[in-house]
Amino acid sequence: MFGHHKRAYFLPVLLLGTCIQAEGPSQSLKAAQSANRQIHPELSQVRTLSPSPLNSGGNSSSILCEVSVGCSGPVITQLVGATSSITPGVNVLATGTNFNAPNGTYGKFVLILTDASSGSTKEFPLVNPKDSSSAPEWSNIAVYGQVPSSVVGVLDQQGWLQIQRTDGLKSAPVPVAFTAQLSFEILEPSCLHLDQCSEGANQNQCNGWADFSPLIGFSAPSSRAGLTPSYFDVHVSFTGQYLGTDQYSFTLINGWQYVLFDWWANVDALGNGVCPGDHVGYPHFNQMGTQVGQFWSGGPFTFTLPWTSACQVDLWAYICVQGPAGTPKCPRAPLQLGGPHAPH
């Protein structure tokens, strides 16, 4: 596997109409590989593929195809840079024959993967390693491209690399191991199951549920400006001091892992300085998932939030998770509320 390269790279450009069969595929490939190693010595991992039937559209025995460039379908014979696993940002060199259509135009070098949400097949065209807005570097016997950073919404899986020509002919798909890029994110409130929202105070709010209206809006501290918390609870007391405990739970899917729990509390949130009875206990986090290294996956994970309100206490937390970018973090089916003091 190899990543980004800052050195210039140049593929031999074949003149339109040149018949590579005259030189012989094996000599062409050897020359291309030799040139590639001289320019890119790090491209040393070569994967030679077994011969595959040509996708020739029925013309493989035609005398015309024997003397015309690209009349037979494209064939990938070697991959460089994809011998073990590929991931977004990795550069891949494919060598073979008949990558150009008969009119000399090139097509697409695509990575074929299964979407994590829909289960459908998606194609991601590789891009130019030096300019992601451009097509890969291309000749009739070699294509050099990069797996784009836009490849998200997919899991670790076996994918396929394929040459697709402008005349509709395609190479046999070549299997490759794909490793999804990881994303570090805050778990969204919709992933949380509200097990219990204590209604001991005069006004009680847990995320989007409350026993009063309108809801109290969340105002992030300057150190967390612009970040939406995983949960935001408010308990307001006008007639004395009250105790309670809130509880949430969540389950992670698609390989997402719980990383850390960053919580905050604001006592005397009314700001009048006469609420020494406001208190927040340390949240208790129950890690019921499966530990993978230093992180946890699966679930369910449950955490409880003890509080004492004499005026107003605000509690919020950022549950940080890591997983395959663009994939769902939690089950899509809406979680029903339950628990002894949960909303009805």
| CATH number, domain containing residue 41 | 2.60.40.10
Which tens digits make up the pLDDT trace of 234-282? 999 988 889 999 999 999 999 999 998 888 888 765 555 667 777 787 7
What's the CATH number where 257 sits? Answer: 2.60.120
Q: Is residue 9 part of a domain?
A: no
Residue 196 shares a structural domain with residue 320: yes
Half-sphere exposure of 284 (CA within 13 A, CB side): 8
Q: Exposed, middle or buried, 100 (CB in 10 Å: 0-12/13-18/19+)?
A: buried
Task: Check whether residue 203 and residue 289 sit in a common domain.
Answer: yes
Residue type, 325: A
Domain housing 249:
184-324
| Residue 274 CA neighbour count, 13 Å, CB half | 4
Nearest-CA neighbor of 162 among 174, 145, 179, 154?
Answer: 174
Residue 35 and residue 153 in one domain: yes
Q: Has this prediction a pTM greater than 0.85?
A: no
Pair 78, 48: CB distance under 8 Å: yes
**pLDDT computed for residue 49 by the predictor:** 58
**pLDDT band at 291; cut points 50, 70, 90:** confident
Mean of the per-residue pLDDT values for the chain?
77
Structural domain count of the chain: 2
**Among 222, 226, 131, CA closest to 186:** 226
**Of 149, 180, 211, which residue sits at a domain end?**
180
- Is the same domain home to 285 and 319? yes
Instruction: Give per-residue pLDDT as tens, 158-211.
Output: 999 999 999 999 999 999 999 999 999 999 999 999 999 999 999 999 998 999
- The answer to whether residues 307 and 243 touch, using CB atoms and an 8 Å cutoff, is yes
Q: Which of 180, 197, 221 is the last residue of a domain?
A: 180
Domain assignment of residue 235, yes or no: yes
Sequence-distant (6+) residues with CB within 8 A of 204 are 197, 198, 210, 211, 212, 234, 235, 236, 244
Tell whether 192 and 155 lie within a shared domain: no
Which residues in 27-50 are b (16+ Cβ under 10 Å) and which e?
A: ebbeebbeebeeebeebeeebebe
Read off the pLDDT of each residue in 67-89 and give the average, rounded to a whole number: 81
My answer on whether 219 and 251 are in the same domain is: yes
Q: What is the pLDDT, as a whole number, of residue 187? A: 95
Which of 132, 176, 130, 182 lies closest to 324, judged by CA? 182
Question: Measured between alpha carbons, how far is 172 from 164 in angstroms, rounded to an integer?
Answer: 10
The answer to whether residue 312 scores a pLDDT higher than 60 is yes
The answer to whether residue 11 sits within a structural domain is no
Assess if residue 123 is contained within a domain.
Answer: yes
